[in-house]
Amino acid sequence: MATVQDTLNSRRTVYRFTDKVVERSDLEMAFEAASNAPCHKQTHPWNYYVLGEETRLKLLPMVISMAKEKITKGNGGESLTSVDRAVSKIIDAPILIAVTTKLSPEDSFREEEDYAATVCSLHNLVLSLWGEGIGSQWSTGSITRHSSTYSVLEIDEEMERIVGFLKAGYPESIPNKEKKSPNEIRKYLP
């Protein structure tokens, strides 16, 4: 059985997933871990929206129009396959979750602390999944910031901000990533 330390150190962002179904019980366990993240003032500022097929389909007109816009702008050899790729990212992800954090326009420090707490919560979710062999990718692509996404997901832009989408599933492969050694990131002060 993997130790907590193994889980923390082995986790990598996964970009390609197999067709193996992620069980609801694994998701629920991960949401419990997400819910147990620290948050100052007990604000619990995070919310998770798991996108089913119907919701994903509703996102497609905006996804396609954004992909086509990129092609028109001629951003270096884009082709119609870019549209297919953009659609596939939404439709084919085994699990697709929008993650939001609470907004506090009247209190920027609260909002910053809440964002920090939401990231703790999201990483609890990611690590809980990873502990069960399920990989994920945090994405902050432009569709996560588009107003159509808010309206399709029925999220009030004045109350919550989407901090990203999380795609999850069983890894087809696990990428390697260069990381800094402990020596490079810490300094013991006298």
Ligand X SMILES: Cc1cc2nc3c(=O)[nH]c(=O)nc-3n(C[C@H](O)[C@H](O)[C@H](O)COP(=O)(O)O)c2cc1C
Confirm or reject binding of residue 140 to ligand X (CB under 6 A).
yes
Choose between 106 and 178: whose C-beta lies nearer to ligand X. 178
Confirm or reject binding of residue 115 to ligand X (CB under 6 A).
no
Which of the stretches 39-47, 51-59, 67-75, 137-145 binds ligand X when contact is defined by CB under 6 A?
137-145
Query: 121, 37 in Cβ contact below 8 A?
Result: yes
Choose between 6 and 23: whose C-beta lies nearer to ligand X. 6
CB atoms within 10 A of CB 1: 4
Binding-residue pattern over the window 155 to 174 for ligand X, x denoting contact by CB under 6 A: ---------x----------
User: Residues touching ligand X: how many (CB under 6 A)?
Assistant: 9
Residue 163 phi, psi (nearest 5): -90, -10
Which of the stretches 33-41, 101-109, 110-118, 136-144 binds ligand X when contact is defined by CB under 6 A?
136-144
Strands 135-139 and 95-102: unpaired
Choose between 41 and 145: whose C-beta lies nearer to ligand X. 145
Choose between 81 and 140: whose C-beta lies nearer to ligand X. 140
For the chain, the first-to-last Cα distance in angstroms comes to: 38
Separation CA 128–CA 11 (nearest Å): 10
Strands (E), the chain: 46-50, 95-102, 135-139, 160-169
Q: Which residues bind ligand X (CB under 6 A)?
A: 12-13, 137-141, 164, 177
